[in-house]
Amino acid sequence: MVKKPFIFLLLILILLNQVYVDATLDYAPRNIDTECSPKNILVGSYVGGRSHLKPILDVAAILIERGHNVTLLTSGYYAPSLEYPTVKQITLGPEINYKEILDAEFHKEFDFNRMAYFFEKSVKDYKETYEKYKSVAKDYNIDLFICDMHINEACLDIANTLKKPVVGMSSFFQFANRGLHKSDPMFQCNISLENESFLERFKCIIVRPLKLFYMIHPIINQLNNFREQVNVKPIVMGQSPKVSLHLVDTFFGFELPQSLPPNVQEMGPVLSEEYPSLTSELSDFMNAHDRVLYVAFGTRFHASTENNNKLLQSFVEAINKKIIDGVVWALVLTPEDSYSSTITLTDGSHIQTSPILNNKHPHIHIAKFAPQFAILNHTNTKLFFAHGGAGSSHESLYTGTPMLVLPFGVDQMGNADKLESAGVALTLNKFNLDVSDIINKIDFLLKDKNIKKNSERLEFLAKINSKRKFRAADSIEYILHSSNLNEGVDEEFLNEWFPAESRMGLIKGNNYDVYGAWLGIVLGLIGGILWVIFISISFILKRIIPFFIQKLKNE
């Protein structure tokens, strides 16, 4: 039988618990209404293509789910827009063809000299592109612009001219806030200057930027002339049109760490919620091979005939040596005639390439299209041989797949350096490919314990950071809300995100005037002390010493 005092105590405890719960509920934080009325958003990219558009559209897809209307304006027609059926697409003109622009220099070194070709083309198209943006902005009553930051001045200019908020997006910090300790292989410098000599840092920070300035200065002048013709204020060399927020599709761990102002935010890796699954044919091939090497070089570049022969020979010999037992090669852009008819192996034997390219080899699967994420996410994919594009790098890191990187140009060289620095990849040089070197690096990447450990570490970090695309969408909605409250964009717009030094100028913003004054005071004090010492010594030499000499003579 339960005693009455115990029952009484139990009732008191229940009553106290209810009081505590009521109090907790009373003071629990209430949800804040963050809903934003539907707005019209324009996504603009002059270059276009999957690598530039997909991260932007993945963020735009979140905004669409929240009720906003998104229009895409880009060169060519973005075929994967079927993934975003509610995005209306308008073309700027024909698709940008890298091979056509570079012509005979397609397989040469791709540094900032080659990049200038694309900048020059964008400038020639500036007036037509600007008017297209202007027309679409008017027709669709655009409230906010999301502009790809790669040679897309017209998008940024029309947004600022119409006094609309503009969000810039890129895959690396070169366009936003590079960091004083960082450079880029496009400038023939290492990605990090931390351990470089004074001479090398001087070249990368002073000499090569001056060469770049000299090279593109005439193009900037031409751009400013076109700007004036459409009543846009010219931009001083070294400056960029103002953006309300710069979102960068990267994350620290892959990217070298640096400090950032509040208006520059990392949001990567941006990955889709859903990806195409494996075809039945590809699924059967993957399931039948335990150690698959996946090969893909994106949709912009492909290797030369000589290098394609070396790659194919490497894959065949790696299979023969049982380093790998299967290869899936996505030949998206590579022409069919980019291989010799016969390849000679290291042992002197010869193989015909045509049967391999037509999927007659039991352990090599050639595809014009490959569902990349599904392949990388398959448990039998052990290594990714890639060009080092941002999207491919992010997918590889997310799935914990080590990489062998053969960069062709643009940001790929910098990404290759970052991946190798992170300990998840090895790199190759397209100008001195060697079959033995390729095979040895494949073997090393598959066996090294540190590569495996670093891949697992970066996989965890990539998965954590992949959720930040929702924060990017939140930030864009905050800009829309602020613009609505502010009734437009002015000089004070989003000052809470812009550091004071960005408005104070180079000297005042870095306190160079204060440090200069302090240095002047210190030097003045030192000079004063030295002057007093000099006067004292002079007095001793002129008065006191002659006095004692004369006194000695008199004695």
The Cα–Cα gap between 536 and 547 comes to 15
Q: Above 70 in pLDDT, residue 2? A: no
**Can you give the pLDDT at residue 304?**
81
**Can you give the pLDDT at residue 410?**
77
The Cα–Cα gap between 75 and 66 comes to 27
Rounded to an integer, the average pLDDT of 135-154 is: 93
Residue 3 pLDDT level (bands cut at 50, 70, 90): very low
Share of the chain above pLDDT 90, in %: 40
**Can you give the pLDDT at residue 550?**
66
Share of the chain above pLDDT 70, in %: 83
**Can you give the pLDDT at residue 110?**
62
Rounded to an integer, the average pLDDT of 49-54 is: 83
Residue 428 pLDDT level (bands cut at 50, 70, 90): very high
The Cα–Cα gap between 39 and 69 comes to 6
**Can you give the pLDDT at residue 28?**
37
Rounded to an integer, the average pLDDT of 298-318 is: 85
Instruction: Select the more confidently predicted residue: 240 or 425.
Output: 425
Q: Above 60 in pLDDT, residue 83? A: yes
H helix runs in 28-152, sequence order: 50-65, 98-102, 112-124, 126-139
Residue 71 pLDDT level (bands cut at 50, 70, 90): very high
Residue 553 pLDDT level (bands cut at 50, 70, 90): low
**Can you give the pLDDT at residue 525?**
92
Rounded to an integer, the average pLDDT of 137-162 is: 93
H helix runs in 321-389, sequence order: 353-357, 372-376
Q: How many other CB atoms are found less than 10 A from the CB of residue 30?
A: 6
Q: Above 90 in pLDDT, residue 132? A: yes
Q: Which of 125, 127, 135 has its CA nearest to residue 101? A: 125
**Can you give the pLDDT at residue 176?**
55
Q: Above 80 in pLDDT, residue 353? A: yes
**Can you give the pLDDT at residue 270?**
92
pLDDT in tens, 165-201: 999 998 877 655 555 666 777 777 777 777 778 888 8
Q: Which of 254, 303, 269, 296 has its CA nearest to residue 415? A: 254
**Can you give the pLDDT at residue 154?**
93
- Tell me whether strands 144-148 and 425-427 are parallel, antiparallel or unpaired: unpaired
Rounded to an integer, the average pLDDT of 215-221 is: 86
> Selecting from 3.30.420.40, 2.30.42.10, 3.20.20.70, 3.40.50.2000, what CATH number does the domain 280-463 have?
3.40.50.2000
Location of structure tokens 């963050």: 34
Q: Which of 418, 441, 419 has its CA nearest to residue 428? A: 441
CB-based burial, 42-81: b 16+ in 10 Å, e otherwise: bbbbbbbbbbbbbbbbbbbbbbbebebbbbbbbbbebeee
**Can you give the pLDDT at residue 512?**
81
Q: How many other CB atoms are found less than 10 A from the CB of residue 143?
A: 20
Rounded to an integer, the average pLDDT of 101-105 is: 56
3-state SS class at 218: helix
Q: Which of 96, 109, 101, 118 has its CA nearest to residue 50? A: 96
Cα dist. 341→305, 306, 312, 347, 351 in Å? 11, 12, 12, 18, 9
Location of structure tokens 């459409």: 230
Residue 459 pLDDT level (bands cut at 50, 70, 90): very high
The Cα–Cα gap between 493 and 175 comes to 21
Tell me whether residue 382 is exposed, middle or buried, using C-beta atoms within 10 angstroms of its C-beta: 0 to 12, 13 to 18, 19 or more: buried
Q: Give 343's DSSP letter.
A: E
Q: DSSP string of 282-305?
A: HHHHHHT-SSEEEEE-TTT----H
Q: What is the CA radius of gyration of the chain?
A: 31
The Cα–Cα gap between 350 and 393 comes to 35
Contact 145, 71 (CB under 8 A): no
Location of structure tokens 């707005």: 39
Q: Which residues are within 8 A (CB) of 215 and not within 5 positions of it... i.e. 6 or more apart?
A: 112, 113, 116
- The residues that bridge with 248 in the sheet, in sequence order, are 170, 266
Q: Above 50 in pLDDT, residue 10? A: no
Average pLDDT over the chain, rounded to whole? 83
Contact 219, 227 (CB under 8 A): no
Q: Above 90 in pLDDT, residue 470? A: yes
The Cα–Cα gap between 314 and 136 comes to 50
Instruction: Select the more confidently predicted residue: 426 or 500.
Output: 426
Tokens linked to 319? 């299979």
Q: Above 80 in pLDDT, residue 393? A: yes
Residue 515 pLDDT level (bands cut at 50, 70, 90): confident
The Cα–Cα gap between 69 and 40 comes to 5
Residue 471 pLDDT level (bands cut at 50, 70, 90): very high
Residue 248 pLDDT level (bands cut at 50, 70, 90): very high
Tokens linked to 245? 């927020």
**Can you give the pLDDT at residue 175?**
56
Tell me whether residue 358 is exposed, middle or buried, using C-beta atoms within 10 angstroms of its C-beta: 0 to 12, 13 to 18, 19 or more: exposed
Angle 405-409-411 from CA coordinates, rounded to 5°: 80
